[in-house]
Structure 1
Amino acid sequence: MSAQSAGPRVVVIGGGIGGLATAALLARGGADVTLVERGAELGGRAGRLKKAGYTWDTGPSWYLMPEAFEQFYGLLGRKVEDELDLIDLDPRYRVFFEGEDPEGAAESLDVLADPDANYARFDAMSGGDGEAIRRYAKESYDLYRLALDRFLYTTYENPLKVASREVIRRLPTLGSLLTRPLGAKIDRRVRDPRLRKVLGFHAVFLGSAPDRAPSLYSLMSHMDLTDGVRYPRGGMYEVVESLVRVAREEGAALRTDANVTRIEVGPDGLATGVVLADGETLPADVVVSGADMHHTETALLEPEHRWQDEPAWKRRSPGVSALLVFAGVKGELPELEHHSLFFTKDWDANFAQIVGDGALSAPVPGSLYVSKVTATNPTAAPAGYENLFMLVPFPADPELGATDRSRAELEELAWGYLDQVASWARIPQLRERTTIYSVKAPADFATELSAWKGSALGLEHTLFQSAMFRPGNASRKVRNLLYTGSSTVPGIGMPICLISAELVAKRLLGDTGPSPLASPAADGFLAGSTRSDVLGRLARGEQRLGIDV
């Protein structure tokens, strides 16, 4: 224990969403928190790029799961509306479906803020499918609430705690939802292949494909079809800036350009701190890694302290990667919405190219995503120009973009995808009006973020990498080494990483239950905890502090 601190000394590795949220929450708890980020900027995957008067978000683009944001800010005694200025998007997004001619115009569909209007439009496209999707969305909401109540806010340290009358009653259904692919569930409910894609594209948010992600994740359709899609005015990086601000206000020290090269472990098998590239040692009672778990386990720990060595990783699968394109366009782009999705006709073949056990390659044409944030935030581009961000799901292959030749090939592909967007959306002279300022490839995720195999998201959500089967947030070898972020429970995504921070706090509190912590968290809820106290709770899991959590 530090003589100057009332709580345990905690070093958090990595300044992504999970790391920042963990630093803020533990600092509120009275821990002496130092966060170290090897880059010059905080945010991790949720970064920001500024060039030539443009501002692009380099990571998450969709603001979903508002309950997770409300819960996290509530723990800190704050309100979301005081931290973020959220805009409700309508249309939620626009979809383009590839036609018979892959170089011709595509059919488009706007998914609106009014669910009833959407279901009516779906029925007009395919008789009966609108009502089928209405029922599907209702089931999605029920699953979403069940996930919030029982599955997302637990560490799975004691899986039996997840059980409730509702869970037990629905065990047969839950078993089917875990073992049957999302795509199979959608195909049984909806006839029209276009509308199946509207329900299945969320698999990409999970780093997966509809035929690989469990159908339990049909709960995600609730988020965009009924709950809504929002956008923080100023960009998604506003979330990062808010987390940085509140972490500092709670007392956490945030250090950039501080590269951790080793987690030190003592003779007793406990982490004693971290070593930086310049040789500085930061002592700690608890180390929390928000870095990629593969990197943490195989690069920052000595072999004898690794819970998951390389053979273990051969049984895992990374989430999909991406080709990111940051561009500016002269003139207006009324053909696009804030969010626009482009779906290829041969959906299954497209996914087979980017994820799975077969031969993987860059898809051409590709199912891709385009964000025109100037539809909502005109300041993201110079006057008279539009800000364009394009994401093409790619295989997780760190060789893509690793050499000058590969980089040149990917840049040529980027122009090809831009031509695809122009053709399908009927945008005149898009190539001539566009300047591409930057391209980010899987190799960049591998080098800049140490992301395993260059994944853009984290571990893929398959059956054996979801819920209790996903790597837990505590090392099985080094008891006081915890994890936060997209490699651990509950999984991928900005709101999910906020939850992962709360799960770190629950570990330190010895809370093995499924419910979120009560809001607001008491100031200093970790104060008075000795190193022995913390280690005891990490070991036993059942002991609680004498406070109402």
Structure 2
Amino acid sequence: MSGRRGVGRAVVVGGGIAGLATAALLSQDGWEVTLLEAREELGGRAGSWEHDGFRFDTGPSWYLMPEVFDHFFALLGTSAARELDLVPLDPAYRVYSDPATGLAPLDVRSGRAEATALFESVEAGAGARLDAYLDSAADAYDLAVTRFLYDTYETTAGLRDPDLLRRAPRLAPLLTRTLARHVESRFADPRLQQILEYPAVFLGGSPYGVPSLYHLMSHLDLDEHVLYPRGGFTEIIRAVTRLAEASGVRIRTGARVSAILTDAGRATGVELADGGRVAADLVVSGADLHATETTLVPDELQTYPERWWRSRTPSPGALLLMLGVQGPLPQLAHHTLLFTREWRAGFDDIFGRHPRIPDPASLYVCRPSATDPGVAPTGHENLFVLVPVPADPELGRGGIDGQGDAAVESAADRVIAQLSQWCAIPDLARRVVVRRTVAPGDFADDFGAWRGNALGLAHTLRQSAMFRPRNASRKVDGLAYVGASTLPGIGLPMCLISAELVLKRSRGDRSPGPLAERARV
């Protein structure tokens, strides 16, 4: 990729958060950018669905790593505060345990004092241990942001940084033991273990598989505040779209790309399913990396061919329920987690040799109407339920009002019954007035998601940092990749950083840290 700014035409494939962010950054840098989205709406997995007065976010719902959003918006001369109406959540989230345990729900509040007090109230001595744990998590997070996340790994300079080498003795154990082992050697109460281990799911993995370096995630929800953009996460998509268009990006929806065109080992543009072509000096694919490599690029020019994927680990799939419910649901916070007693067995169901939908499952429930009355009609609540399941499109597809595949709808019925029982909402099923399910088959069909996964490549050790797919093809000059399966990883903040890595590569910038910000307007 070129080391000069604004050298010509760029085509971005995919209108998810990563594609939109890349288009905005490149256009501001002087490129003539066209963004092509196969569907009629933008946002990709961070989509939105409206029905009978309800508006549901269909994907991400946790606003974490706020400084990453702040930095991205600053690169475009604005700020998150200007573009979004951010609301801190209190509690950050609520945790329910299996009612058979007799344990009361826990409200987890952000802030060191609140978090350590909660842990101490549950387990004697756990407050002080959490204090030390969060010190380590904050240090690991600082290390990730300053040394790992913004590095394109085109050179090893960042890995040879003297400060990083001084931290190596502390870093090595965090890479060689699992998050579960790290947590369970410090805390005995299962609820506290689960609070600290559950963030592995946000990384597309199991606490028994991701390295303990990712205990840094607890810095985000326990030290820092969990925020919510009023209007929902679709407001983030709208903000980035607005900035992309203001910078000159031409956005085309309903434009499915069928091939990436090459000549003498260089990308020259894309071909559309309708036979049209768009010429470009730089092609950036924000589509699923597996689909990009195995269906859009000729066999001989694939950096990550089908055989490469055979030994890789996808994130879990997801069974999603979008429920419009009549009447109030004070039993649920904005974010609520239900944790099963058979914790490890649930992850074995998802990632093990005999995958199946866990029953009962550990669930995540978002009730945005607790904070944002605009997402549901008056007198109603909006629920988004996520059940991690195996990444397997054969599990089926969902539908509206029970019209999905029978196995998917049956699993959804069990989830509603579990939520009803565990959270003391006995009439929940009767109060549901809007229902939609989404399953791994939908992720495969709608987004081309490899094996129907919901998030991208899991953050196992061999799929993290310098071991993760890079943001540029090794075989096609002028072909770049952006999104959750490339550097640096899963989640909206990571996708914003991924876009910045493409910009850095286009400039020939090999520094390990974030780019300098523009003066804000």
Cα distance in 1, alignment partners of residues 351 and 103 from structure 2: 25
**Cα distance change of structure 1 residues 6 and 392 upon mapping to structure 2, 3 Å threshold:** closer
Task: State the partner residue of 1:361.
Answer: 356
Aligned to 2:149: 152
C-alpha contact (below 8 Å) 2:397/2:408 kept by paired residues: no
Distance 1:445 1:514 in 2: 33
Q: 1:149 to 1:112 in 2, by over 3 A?
A: same
Partner residue, 1:89: 89
Mapping 1:341-380, distance limit 5 Å: 341-356=337-352, 358-380=353-375
Q: Is 2:160 the partner of 1:176? A: no
Which runs of 5 or more residues in structure 1 are unaligned? 524-549
Change (3 A) 1:345 1:6: closer
Structure 1 position 381 matched with structure 2 position 376: yes
- Equivalent residue runs for 1:196-275 within 5 Å: 196-266=193-263, 268-275=264-271
Counterpart pick for 1:515 among 489, 513, 519: 513
Alpha-carbon distance in structure 2 between the residues aligned to 1:157 and 1:179: 24
1:393 aligns with 2:388: yes
Give the structure 2 partner of residue 420 of structure 1: 418
Q: Which amino acid aligns with 2:514?
A: P
What is the count of residue pairs matched by the alignment?
A: 514
Equivalents in 1 of 2:144, 2:6: separation in Å?
35
The one-letter code matched in structure 2 to 1:59 is G
Question: What code does the residue aligned with 2:138 have?
Answer: Y
Q: CA deviation at 1:403?
A: 9.4
Once superposed, which parts of structure 1, at least 4 consecutive aligned residues long, lie more than 3 Å away? 402-406
Q: Report the Cα offset of residue 515 of structure 1.
A: 1.2
Task: Give the Cα separation in 1 of the matches to 2:185 and 2:139.
Answer: 19
Structure 1 position 402, deviation (Å):
4.7
Q: Give the match for residue 275 of structure 2.
A: 279
Q: CA RMSD in A?
A: 1.7
The amino acid across from 2:311 in the alignment is: R
The structural deviation recorded for 1:411 is 0.9
Match of 1:465 in 2: 463
Q: 2:475 aligns with which of 474, 477, 482?
A: 477
AA in 1 matched with 2:439: A
Rounded to whole Å, the distance in 1 between the matches of 2:114 and 2:133 is 16
Find the residue that maps to 1:46 and give its secondary structure: coil
Q: Distance in 2 between matches of 1:399 and 1:422?
A: 28
How far apart in 1 are the matches of 2:10 and 2:485? 20
Q: Is the 8 A contact 1:325 1:436 kept in 2?
A: no
Q: 1:72 to 1:6 in 2, by over 3 A?
A: closer
State the AA in 1 paired with 2:105. S
Unaligned segments of structure 2, at least 5 residues:
none
Match of 2:104 among 86, 103, 107: 107
Q: Does 1:486 align with 2:484?
A: yes
Could you tell me how far apart the structure 1 residues matched to 2:488 and 2:204 are? 14
Task: Determine whether 1:24 maps to 2:24.
Answer: yes
1:292, 1:450 within 8 Å by CA — same for their partners in 2? yes
Give runs of aligned pairs for residues 301-320 of structure 1, distance below 5 A: 301-320=297-316
Whole-angstrom CA distance in 2 between matches of 1:77 and 1:114: 30
Q: CA deviation at 1:368?
A: 0.6
Distance of aligned partners of 1:502 and 1:522 in 2 relative to their CA distance in 1, 3 Å threshold: farther
User: In structure 2, the residue corresponding to 1:107 is in which secondary structure?
Assistant: coil
User: SS of 2:278's equivalent?
Assistant: strand
Aligned partner of 1:532 in structure 2 is none
Distance in 2 (CA, whole Å) between partners of 1:262 and 1:500 is 22
Query: How big is the shift at 1:165?
Result: 2.1
Counterparts of residues 63-74 of structure 1 (less than 5 Å): 63-74=63-74
Report the alpha carbon displacement of residue 118 of structure 1 after superposing the two structures with TM: 2.6
Query: Aligned pair in 2 of structure 1 residues 43, 106: CA closer, same or farther (>3 Å)?
Result: farther
Cα separation, 1, equivalents of 2:181 and 2:63: 27
CA distance in 2, matches of 1:274, 1:424: 51
Q: CA deviation at 1:162?
A: 3.2
Distance 1:214 1:439 in 2: 32
Distance across 2 between alignment mates of 1:433 and 1:89: 26
Contact 1:10 1:285 in 2 (8 A): yes
Q: For 1:59, what is the secondary structure of its paired residue?
A: coil
The code of the aligned residue for 2:181 comes to A
Q: What TM-score do the two structures reach when normalised by structure 1?
A: 0.91
1:71, distance to aligned residue in structure 2 (A): 0.8
| CA 1:276–1:473: 2 relative to 1, 3 Å | same
Contact 1:162 1:513 in 2 (8 A): no
CA deviation after TM superposition for structure 1 residue 200, in Å: 0.5
Q: Deviations over 1:149-204 (max 9, x none)?
A: 11110101112333322210111222221121111111111121110000000000
